[in-house]
Chain A
């Protein structure tokens, strides 16, 4: 078919593309609003500001997208492991040759622009996982396969941790969503969620209370149990689980107080009690909440924000960009942005389910998972529901690396999907 060879009239999913364009445009406007100073009437095209640079990044992204759409769809399939290997190499290289920015050696610097390879490792890892799981006979309920998958995920994580960029490492947890869909035994997510819940409880309440709580819970479970189930083995199992939980809580306590660095510890503690470290992290979170809260229902209007100017809210054009939305466009603006994001995620899942190849489906779920995790953590931290982790809001935050990596991530999937549509139409 002639249409198929023409990269620009391909069977791109227009709905996804539209959502993408909306998000990028809104993102750029908000970056502009965040750097706008009423004194100097900053132009949105001023190349010395983040807004002007972001526009340039958007321009280069368009070129990237066109490249992705032009190449053959088998390219990504075939070279998945090559990309992965290349990115691992880059991660090692950046440890040696990277520039030290804010204490993390994770950036390559070219003139005034910086590139962070960790951002792109997500894409490569997603491709590698998809490629690996595409092999017939691989099954996640088999321990050996699970181990390989874990290896693919953990290797870049270790390298990124070594470059002192913990926030980016956490993103790799987002592959859990894909793994769940692909057949991860269901007790695993349950254990994971319980662990998170216990972790938070351990932060809020003293250890002793939690121990008592666990004990009471164990007794309750035993009492509720049908009498015929109260075998010695079961009682023993409950006891083991209870003691395991207590050990975990103790471990959390130890981990938070002894393993984590001070600023990381504070970021977590401040979630529980914002008055901790009032001039540091707590202050940032409070400022972010004030900015968002002051937007009320309708917001103060475009460029009319007062709290999100002059770095009152730190990193306001990058990690805290959501504050600008909340302040200038209020709850309605936040509603629109969150709805757009959720719509995009659902659309990706729907498309992923339609894929004919496992490769494309796995990759689609990886895309959804990665974007979801970023949104959840980024917005969550600005409204005080998540610890402060320096990861960007997809398509919104200022920064070439993140815009490029999210666009590449999404458009490789759209390219794979267009192949699927062309196939069905034939």
Chain B
């Protein structure tokens, strides 16, 4: 009898289950008041995006600040537009644009707000503010936009724009959400975490009509937004702008650092663009235009363009050979026995060879360096010598990334014996005569302007360098600077060996390879010119290079300049460098003739080379910049006696 009560009990279980499921079905499926309630739930999460940190130059001048702008959000379900045509006119958008934006918004959600128009300026917003009352469903949200009062430094700064899908998916710690802004490239990316601050979240109670009723639980769950930190850079905006003006109608890079600190003073990538272009609501239009520009203004040449250093590399050769003990200040080499041409008279000592940039001299220096080991087999000896050479050159920060505070930096190439082994498909299949073009900075060497300016600073310091960097502090000078930017890197070359080289550099500017006008009075510029071969458009279009520092005995600025396709290094590049150094040291330009001459010159690569080709190619892009050194290719020239290097390196 009693066993049958089990059915009653099971019945109760099932009945309760059914009653609950019925109730749930009613709550969840039939009755939609609750789901509507949720979408405008009585608690609203308000995300507070803090102001992004501003960026200053070394003299406290603003480079980047934030302008308040308005993003307009739309909630499709609430939208009432009496006259769509008038609305479009007011918003300055076309009807198809309006339809596509609304379509996207409806697709996303009918009840949640989506972005309608972004970054309306204060003026634009003031214009539509009153009219918005007539159009329901639109809600302005205050936001901010990067503004660049100096209109310069675009490539080093990078830009701020919406986070990409890929970045959104690849976050280690999920912080960003769809539609968030994030720094791209340059300092904006490098220091993103400090600049962006920390997002705050506020919980607001709202009634059914969406009217705020105060904070939820007295703000127990709120987190305050923490404003981004202001970044102080070592850039000197005035000189930077001046350098910009000098680099007009030229392709290349200008870099200047303070040798004693490694702070970057000037960082010009030419051609460049106005950074404000990438921070308006026309971002995508402008970005596309810049991307299509054949002169590639979006490339940050100082850190990501690789060039052959040309004759500027002779400075390193002179230093390491002295340290090795195979070169003395009074060593003299003539032109004989060298496969290289030269336009100087020959018979120079070290000082004169630097001053006149004598190719055969450094051919001999390098030859002696490579074969300065007990080995008699030339192949083995070359390998040993090149290894020693590689290790000594590496100390100058060449061959690997320097560690500058930018997200992208190229390694360049400093060939090792293994590199040639691979290229010649076997060890001991190459010797000095295959690699001698390295002696004058040609061949397989690849180097960024950043490394070259670092070389100038190293010589200015007579033996050490601090890795070049943009940052000078967060909020205050010296705060939050990574510790690696106070480490002195030694080159392990004795102080005394620098002196004859520096003498020669001063000589080069005073009465050597540099054009006389660039020897500006009162700045005591020391320097070395270089002309990197660029067979692409014929040797008329070699790259003009100059590195140097000033003043000679108390260096305050080290400069490196690349001007592509400008030919002889002593003219274009040296002039720009001299003017930049003068402006920095004197805060004014007295060499007005030179100034005018430089500004008037135009070294843009010939248009037919750029536009005739199917895909737009700039010389540097195809030849030197972007590609990794394709191993076997240069060897084809070097193995033949009539190497391109010879003709190319005119050795100023």
Q: Do A and B come from one complex?
A: yes
Interface residues of A (CB under 8 A from B): 38-41, 177, 180-183, 287, 289-297, 306-307, 310-312, 326, 330-331, 334-335, 338-339, 341-342, 345-346, 349, 352-353, 365, 368, 372, 375-376, 379-380, 383-385
Q: Which residues of B lie under 8 Å from residue A312 when comparing CB positions?
A: 41, 43
Taken together as a complex, chains A and B put the C-alpha atoms of A424 and B338 apart, in Å, by 105
The 3 closest A-B pairs by CB, nearest first: A293-B34, A294-B38, A41-B174
Interface string of B28-61 (1 = CB under 8 A from A): 1101011101110111010000000000000000
Residue with the greatest number of chain A CB neighbours at <10 A, chosen from B27, B28, B35, B177: B28
Taken together as a complex, chains A and B put the C-alpha atoms of A39 and B48 apart, in Å, by 13
Q: A353 contacts B17, CB within 8 Å?
A: no
Can you list 28 A-B pairs, Cβ within 8 angstroms, ordered by A? A39-B201, A40-B174, A41-B174, A177-B12, A181-B9, A287-B42, A289-B34, A292-B24, A292-B27, A293-B27, A293-B31, A293-B33, A293-B34, A293-B38, A296-B29, A312-B41, A331-B24, A331-B28, A335-B24, A338-B20, A338-B24, A342-B13, A349-B10, A365-B9, A368-B13, A372-B16, A380-B20, A383-B24
How distant is B46 from chain A, measured CB to nearest CB, in Å? Answer: 13
Which A residue's beta carbon lies closest to that of B3? A353
Q: B5 contacts A180, CB within 8 Å?
A: yes
Q: A294 contacts B29, CB within 8 Å?
A: no
Q: A379 contacts B20, CB within 8 Å?
A: yes
Taken together as a complex, chains A and B put the C-alpha atoms of A292 and B29 apart, in Å, by 10
How distant is A277 from chain B, measured CB to nearest CB, in Å? Answer: 15
Q: Say yes or no: is B6 at the interface (Cβ < 8 Å to chain A).
A: yes
Q: B28 contacts A293, CB within 8 Å?
A: yes
The residue that B37 contacts in the complex, of A293, A330, A365, A375, with Cβ under 8 A, is: A293
The B154-200 residues at the A interface (CB cut-off 8 A) are 173-175, 177, 199
How distant is A313 from chain B, measured CB to nearest CB, in Å? Answer: 10
Interface string of B1-29 (1 = CB under 8 A from A): 01101101110111011011101110111
Q: Say yes or no: is B432 at the interface (Cβ < 8 Å to chain A).
A: no
How distant is B29 from chain A, measured CB to nearest CB, in Å? Answer: 5
Q: B34 contacts A294, CB within 8 Å?
A: yes
Q: Say yes or no: is B609 at the interface (Cβ < 8 Å to chain A).
A: no
Q: A41-B173, A181-B6, A307-B38 are in contact. List 9 more A-B contacts (CB 8 A).
A: A180-B8, A291-B38, A292-B34, A293-B28, A307-B41, A310-B43, A310-B221, A331-B24, A339-B17
Q: Which residues of B lie under 8 Å from residue A326 when comparing CB positions?
A: 24, 27-28
How distant is A352 from chain B, measured CB to nearest CB, in Å? Answer: 8
Q: Say yes or no: is B203 at the interface (Cβ < 8 Å to chain A).
A: yes
Given contacts A342-B17, A376-B16, contact A290 B175 (CB under 8 A): no
Which A residue's beta carbon lies closest to that of B220? A311
Interface string of B541-559 (1 = CB under 8 A from A): 0000000000000000000
Which B residue's beta carbon lies closest to that of A334? B24
Q: Which residues of A lie under 8 Å from residue B24 when comparing CB positions?
A: 292, 326, 331, 334-335, 338, 383
Q: B16 contacts A294, CB within 8 Å?
A: no
- Chain B contact residues: helix, strand, loop or mixed: helix
How distant is A145 from chain B, measured CB to nearest CB, in Å? Answer: 15
Taken together as a complex, chains A and B put the C-alpha atoms of A181 and B623 apart, in Å, by 92
Taken together as a complex, chains A and B put the C-alpha atoms of A212 and B349 apart, in Å, by 127
- Chain A contact residues: helix, strand, loop or mixed: helix
Q: A290 contacts B174, CB within 8 Å?
A: no
Q: B20 contacts A383, CB within 8 Å?
A: yes
Q: A342 contacts B8, CB within 8 Å?
A: no
Which A residue's beta carbon lies closest to that of B5? A181
Which B residue's beta carbon lies closest to that of A365? B9
Given contacts A293-B31, A311-B221, A312-B43, contact A349 B20 (CB under 8 A): no
Q: Which residues of A lie under 8 Å from residue B6 when comparing CB positions?
A: 181, 349, 352-353
How distant is A152 from chain B, measured CB to nearest CB, in Å? Answer: 20
The residue that A341 contacts in the complex, of B3, B12, B17, B217, with Cβ under 8 A, is: B17
Taken together as a complex, chains A and B put the C-alpha atoms of A331 and B22 apart, in Å, by 10
Which A residue's beta carbon lies closest to that of B173? A41
The residue that A345 contacts in the complex, of B13, B42, B173, with Cβ under 8 A, is: B13
How distant is B145 from chain A, measured CB to nearest CB, in Å? Answer: 25
Taken together as a complex, chains A and B put the C-alpha atoms of A8 and B297 apart, in Å, by 72
Q: Which residues of B lie under 8 Å from residue A338 when comparing CB positions?
A: 17, 20-21, 24
Q: Which residues of A lie under 8 Å from residue B9 when comparing CB positions?
A: 177, 180-181, 349, 365, 368
How distant is B540 from chain A, measured CB to nearest CB, in Å? Answer: 58
Q: A39 contacts B35, CB within 8 Å?
A: no
Q: Which residues of B lie under 8 Å from residue A346 when comparing CB positions?
A: 10, 13-14
Q: A39 contacts B41, CB within 8 Å?
A: no
Q: Which residues of A lie under 8 Å from residue B27 when comparing CB positions?
A: 289, 292-293, 326, 383
Taken together as a complex, chains A and B put the C-alpha atoms of A339 and B24 apart, in Å, by 13
Taken together as a complex, chains A and B put the C-alpha atoms of A384 and B20 apart, in Å, by 10
Q: Which residues of A lie under 8 Å from residue B33 when comparing CB positions?
A: 293
How distant is A268 from chain B, measured CB to nearest CB, in Å? Answer: 18
Taken together as a complex, chains A and B put the C-alpha atoms of A291 and B35 apart, in Å, by 8
How distant is B171 from chain A, measured CB to nearest CB, in Å? Answer: 8
How distant is A347 from chain B, measured CB to nearest CB, in Å? Answer: 10
How distant is B535 from chain A, measured CB to nearest CB, in Å? Answer: 53
Taken together as a complex, chains A and B put the C-alpha atoms of A326 and B20 apart, in Å, by 12
Which A residue's beta carbon lies closest to that of B39? A294
Q: Which residues of B lie under 8 Å from residue A306 when comparing CB positions?
A: 38, 41
Taken together as a complex, chains A and B put the C-alpha atoms of A198 and B2 apart, in Å, by 28
Q: Which residues of A lie under 8 Å from residue B177 when comparing CB positions?
A: 38
Which B residue's beta carbon lies closest to that of A369? B9
